[in-house]
A and B are shown apart, each in its own frame.
Chain A
Amino acid sequence: GQQVMQIPQYQHVQEGEDFTTYCNSSTTLSNIQWYKQRPGGHPVFLIQLVKSGEVKKQKRLTFQFGEAKKNSSLHITATQTTDVGTYFCAGHDGGATNKLIFGTGTLLAVQP
Chain B
Amino acid sequence: GAVVSQHPSRVICKSGTSVKIECRSLDFQATTMFWYRQFPKKSLMLMATSNEGSKATYEQGVEKDKFLINHASLTLSTLTVTSAHPEDSSFYICSATRSAKNIQYFGAGTRLSVL
Query: A and B, one complex?
Result: no
- B residues at A contact (CB < 8 Å): none
> Residues of A with Cβ closer than 8 Å to B?
none
